[in-house]
Amino acid sequence: MDSLLADLNHPAIEAFLDAVDEVMNSNTLMLKVRADVPVQPGNRAAILSDFLRAPLFHEMMLTADRARGWWMFHEMPYEPTAAAPIPAAGAPGSLVRDGFRLTLSPLDGIGMAARLRWMLTSACSPYRRHLDENRARDLAGEFLRHVFDSGGGLCPVEPDRRSGTETPWEFCTVRPNFLRGMDEHADEPYQPAYFEGCESADTATFFHQGEVFYLLLTNGAP
């Protein structure tokens, strides 16, 4: 598998992620990856599971963490030359919980677009910073247009644009129980963690076309 994080440096993506941060009080992260084989409904759970257990996932999470300015997974002051070896999945220092099993629930394109708007208009917002429906639709629409224009295929906010020849996009939610929670190491030395343990704010959304897949994560704090 290969990291495609550089493809995410785009104003439409940054604007959407920033808005989700603000509304959900979240450290929102998104990853883009090229798999070794086409990702399909029948193999996506296995491909995502392999990715989460691979050193590449840990590397990409740390890179995305720095790029978005969160520094959640780094001890400060940060010394790049003193970076620790990447831990095995489930081992101390790993973001991934030991023995996790993924639960994926499919979405259609309209459901995917609605999920993105939900993050901005209806999700848990501890500081009551929900956006109005029109602003949310604009942000989610521009985000989706960039994603789908860069990959081709069905854009769920503009379904009439599909020619019938593209490989369709597939979408699903992932139960957010595969990463360590913030409360799991309260009495231990520093350990990286992501999810907050808030069922209404911890989310994982997985979508893919061909060999390319995205993983969008939120961890809104109540």
pLDDT per residue as tens digits for the range 45-55: 999 999 999 99
Higher-pLDDT residue of 183 and 154 is 183
User: Is position 80 within any domain?
Assistant: no
Question: Mean of the per-residue pLDDT values for the chain?
Answer: 85
Residue 23 lies in a domain: yes
On whether residue 167 sits in a domain, the answer given is no
What domain range includes position 89?
Answer: 2-75+85-162+172-219
* 35 closest CA partner among 56, 21, 16: 56
Grade residue 152 by pLDDT with cuts at 50, 70 and 90: very low
Evaluate whether residue 45 is within a structural domain: yes
Q: Is 129 within the bounds of a domain? A: yes
The answer to the question of residue 106 being in a domain is: yes
Q: What is the pLDDT of residue 157?
A: 45
Residue 158 has pLDDT above 50, yes or no: no
The token duo for 46 is: 């296995």
With CA atoms as reference, report the closest residue to 138 among 7, 28, 19, 8.
19
- Give the pLDDT band (50/70/90) at residue 150: low
Residue 32 counted as domain residue: yes
CB 102 within 8 A of CB 178: yes
Number of domains in the chain: 1
Q: For residue 207, which of 12, 56, 4, 39 has the smallest C-alpha distance?
A: 39
Is 89 part of a structural domain of the chain?
A: yes
pTM passes above 0.75? yes
DSSP-H helix ranges across 96-219: 109-121, 133-151
- pLDDT tens digits, residue range 64-111? 999 999 888 865 545 555 556 677 776 777 889 889 999 999 999 999
Which of 117-131, 158-172, 184-198 bottoms out in mean pLDDT, i.e. has the lowest? 184-198
pLDDT, residue 191, reads 59
Sheet holding 29-34: strands in order across? 2-3, 29-34, 212-219, 202-209, 170-174, 104-107
